[in-house]
Amino acid sequence: MSHSPRTAIAQGVLTPRTLSRTYKRRVVKSCALLLAPLSVGLAACSGSSGNSLSATPYDATDAVAVNADADSKDVDPDKPLEVTAQHGDTLTDIFATDSSGHVVAGELSSDGKRWHSTGPLAAGARYTLQVSTENDEGAPGRRSLRFETKPASKHLNVKLGPGSGTYGVGQPLTAELSHRVKGRKQRELVERALKVESRPHVAGSWHWVDGKELHYRPSSYWPAHASITLRSSLKGLKIRDGLYGGGKAKRVRMKTGDRIEAITDASAHVMNVKRNGKTIRSIPVTTGKAGYETRNGIKVILTKEPYVRMTSASIGASDFYDLGVHWATRLTNTGEYVHAAPWSVGSQGVSNTSHGCTGMSSANAKWFFDNVRQGDIVQHVNSEGENMAPFGNGFGDWNLDWKKWSAGSAVNRDKPAGSSPADAARLRPQV
C-alpha cells in the first residue's frame, strides 16, 4: 500500500523535513500526483529519466533490509523496528500497522537511507510493513512483509468496576491493576487506555488511589438517569520493559437512577431524604454517642443487607451487646450502617446513643432500605466525629474537592499526585 507524503505526515510516518525532501525528489517526476490525484486518463508529467506514474514498481526485497524477518513470530517488541535501504536505493515511504489499523510512528533519516520506529510495538501483535523506494534512476520499488511480536512476559490485567447495572449518582468507577504502576508516563498510558463515555456527556477524571487502584468520577455527582460505559484498551500496550497490557477486561455498562441524597444532621437528630432535589421524607434518627461519634462527610451506599448480627466485640466496645439488626444499609468497610434500631426509638430525634451507626425505627429503616440503592449518597453533617476518609473505608471520593481530585491524575496534572489510602480495615459492624 503506497501513501502520499501528505498522508504519511498526517499519520506520523514522515516528518516535515522528510516531506520537504520527498517533494523535492518527486516534484519533477509527478505533477499529476499533486494536481489530479483522483483523475483517470490524464497524462502524467515525467522527469528526464522517462519514468511515469504508471510504471510498475520493482520488487525491492533485495534493496531493503528489515530487522524483522518475513513471517517471523518472535520479533522482540522492546526493540525498535528498523528499515535500511541498500544498493543505492532510497526510502520514500514507510507504513507499519498492526491488525487493528494502529499506525507505528517512525523517523526517516535525512538521507532517506534509514528508518526506525519511534512508537512502541505491542506484544503478541501482528504487523504489516510496507516500504516504498526509489532507485538511482527514479524508478519506484515496493516491499511488503508481515511479522508477529513475541507475547509479553508479564501482563498488566485490569478489573473494572462496578459490575454492570443501575446505581446511585454517587457511584465511582474503579480500575484495579494486577501490577503496580509508577511514574507519570506509565500512569498516563494506563489512564488513556481506560475509556469512559457517558450520555449525557459529563467531564470527569481518574484519580490514582495508589499504584494499583484508580477511581473515576465527574466534578459533581453523575446526572440522574445517565448511561456510562467503561472499557479498557490496555491489551498489548507496552507499559514498561517486560510489562504489557493483558487481555480484555469485562466492559462496565452502568446506569444511574434518580438522584437520592440522605442528609443527616447529627446535632438536630434528623435525616432528610431527597429525590432529585425534593425532600420526600424526614426521619428522626440517633447517631454516634461520645467516644463513638459518626464520621462527618459524604458516603456512598456500599451494600444492602436485610439482616446483620452486630456485636460489641467487633469494634472493641466496653459495653456489651450482641444484636440481630434488620434493614441494614452499609456505608463504610468498618461497619457503619443505616439500620433499624427499635431499642432506641425513645432517643431518635432527641439524642445520640449509637456506637456510630444511624439508627431509626423499623418502619423508617424498611422504607429507607426499599428506596435506596448501591451508589446513593448519605451525608452526615454537624457530628463531632472525624471526617470520612476519601479512600480505604468505602467510597469517600466525593470528600475531595475537584482541584484535589484532578491533581491525582497523571493526565490532568504535570505532577501526578498519589494519595495512599489507609489499610483497609476489616469489616466490623457498629451499632
Q: Are 70 and 146 in contact (CB under 8 A)?
A: yes
- Active-site residue identified among 155, 215, 269, 339: 339
Spell out the residues 6+ positions from residue 332 whose beta carbon is closer than 8 angstroms to its own: 295, 299, 302, 388, 393, 394
Q: Rounded to an integer, what distance in angstroms lies between the CA atom of residue 323 and that of residue 330?
A: 16
Q: What sign does the dihedral 36-39-42-48 (CA atoms) show? A: positive
Catalytic site includes residue 116: no
Give CA separation, 133 vs 31, 89, 267, in Å: 18, 6, 80
Spell out the residues 6+ positions from residue 338 whose beta carbon is closer than 8 angstroms to its own: 262, 271, 328, 329, 331, 357, 358, 360, 365, 368, 378
The DSSP output letter for 258 is: S
Q: Are strands 243-245 and 252-256 parallel, antiparallel or unpaired?
A: unpaired
Q: Rounded to an integer, what distance in angstroms lies between the CA atom of residue 344 and that of residue 269?
A: 13
Q: Exposed e or buried b for every residue in 108-127, given b needs 16+ CB within 10 A?
A: beeebeebbbeebbbbbbeb
Catalytic site includes residue 45: no
- Active-site residue identified among 3, 269, 355, 357: 357
Q: Rounded to an integer, what distance in angstroms lies between the CA atom of residue 373 and that of residue 275?
A: 12
Beta-carbon count within 10 A of 394 CB: 20
Q: Rounded to an integer, what distance in angstroms lies between the CA atom of residue 28 and that of residue 46?
A: 7
Residue with cell 519506484: 140
Cβ-based burial of 24 (10 A; exposed 0-12, middle 13-18, buried ≥19)? exposed
User: CA angle, 262 as apex, 261 and 267 as ends, to 5°?
Assistant: 140
Residue with cell 450482641: 322
Q: Rounded to an integer, what distance in angstroms lies between the CA atom of residue 298 and that of residue 289?
A: 19
Q: What sign does the dihedral 22-24-29-34 (CA atoms) show? A: positive
Catalytic residue IDs: 339, 357
